[in-house]
Amino acid sequence: MSTNLGYINKGKEILTVLNTNGYQAYFVGGVVRSIILDIPFSEIDIITSANLEQIKKCLKNHETTVIDESKLALFYKSEVFFISTFRKASEKDKKKIKRMHYSESLQEDLISRDFTINAIAMNNGSMLTDALNGYRDLNRKILRAIGKPRQRFKEDPIKILRAIRLISELGFRPDFKTANALSSRAKYLRDLELDYSVLREIKKIFEGKNLKLAIKHIKKAKIYKYIPFFQKPIKRLINRYIDIDFETLAIAGFVANKQIPKVFENFFDNIKEVEQLTNLVVATNKAEFPDLVLYTYGLDACLKVNNANLLLSKRYMRPRKLKAKYAKLPIKGTCDLAFKGEDILVLTNNVSGSFLPMIVEEMAYKVINKELDNDREELKTYAIARLNEILGHKKEYNVFKSIYKE
């Protein structure tokens, strides 16, 4: 855990500040679970007896952002921490938690959580409070819902996805009651909107190291039936498993539903690139990847598109064959050309312009399409001819005409 040690120590400083001001404060959830299992984690959750105003007062020299009535994000020494007031679940309607009220009791807070392995608290001295035997379940690699699983999943269906996510991340197996509840309560997933919180869980499922195991439980509980946007690709994945990531699943979903919902923009660094791959999936009905497509998009993107084709029950090229085809390309990029942009600059005495990348790309495409060989002299001849066509009639370039005609 050395890579997270600095993050943990800064978190303990926050616990100490809250303790010094008379409040209880603990790490809870994924960070504690990860420390015990000695695996990496990406965020730290803190629970405390202080309310939001008291938290902000104790840490007034640091920026905070309120997330909801019980939780805020604290920006402390270049790190982000999520701090919540102790809580326990109260009045709930049929679909989701209607409201929460907050308790000064740590035990009540832990009992209100989803799974025993997420209900272990740690103080600033690394002492654990384990009211629900979560430590034992961690050692046994068991996922056990707190309380009555059927009731918990019915009240808050997103916990069904969270269970699958933990299976995917940790490789744990659900205990008998939790597994039965996943199957009997999966239908309540249809009441959830495809919003940020739902997509976040699905994304984490497909980022897990044990995705194949998670897919088995998705199949057993028929969970895919109640997530219409991803029903087709996940059903196909059940029938023919391949390792894919969330982006590939999303692309298949976009094609199947003929839309890219705006909420997905929060999950990709460049949604335009994802849109391009989506369009490429639509264009590759016969699982054909011409050389120009392989060159333009690259091997990784084409492998992703190929996998999306499989999820959509379209024709599919075996990855080995696709990789072999890519390996046979005469060039993989303009840097592989025998006559490059810098060589053209020699011809023009270092005079550049928009014509330069255009000619380089033309040469690359002609090499890929086998209209030109990747031969220095042949490419040089082509470049000189193009320079004459583009620049020869312009007075400002007349001084170079003799060079072009060599």
Q: Are strands 25-28 and 121-122 parallel, antiparallel or unpaired?
A: antiparallel
The answer to whether 149 touches 155, Cβ cutoff 8 Å, is no
Backbone angles phi and psi of 362, in degrees to 5: -60, -45
Backbone angles phi and psi of 370, in degrees to 5: 65, 25
- pLDDT score for 90: 53
- pLDDT score for 404: 47
The answer to whether 247 touches 270, Cβ cutoff 8 Å, is no
Mean pLDDT of 114-130: 95
Sign of CA dihedral 377, 382, 384, 387: negative
- Give the length of the chain: 406
Tens of pLDDT, residues 259-314: 999 999 999 999 999 999 999 999 887 768 999 999 999 999 999 999 999 999 98
What is the pTM (predicted TM-score) of this model? 0.85
The answer to whether 379 touches 330, Cβ cutoff 8 Å, is no
Question: Average pLDDT over the chain, rounded to whole?
Answer: 90
Tens of pLDDT, residues 225-258: 999 999 999 999 999 999 999 999 999 999 999 9
Distance CA 316, CA 328 (A): 20
Share of the chain above pLDDT 70, in %: 91
- pLDDT score for 98: 45
| List of residues 6+ apart from 214 with CB closer than 8 A | 164, 165, 167, 168, 205, 208
Mean pLDDT of 21-32: 96
Of residues 258 and 402, more confidence is placed in 258
Distance CA 245, CA 293 (A): 22
- The string of DSSP letters for 47-103 reads EESS-HHHHHHHTTTSEEEEEETTEEEEEETTEEEEEEE--EE--B-SSSB--EE--
Put residue 231 in one of left, alpha, beta given phi > 0 → left and psi -120 to 50 → alpha. alpha
| 397 pLDDT more than 60 | no
Distance CA 200, CA 162 (A): 10
The answer to whether 105 touches 86, Cβ cutoff 8 Å, is yes
- pLDDT score for 1: 42
Share of the chain above pLDDT 90, in %: 82
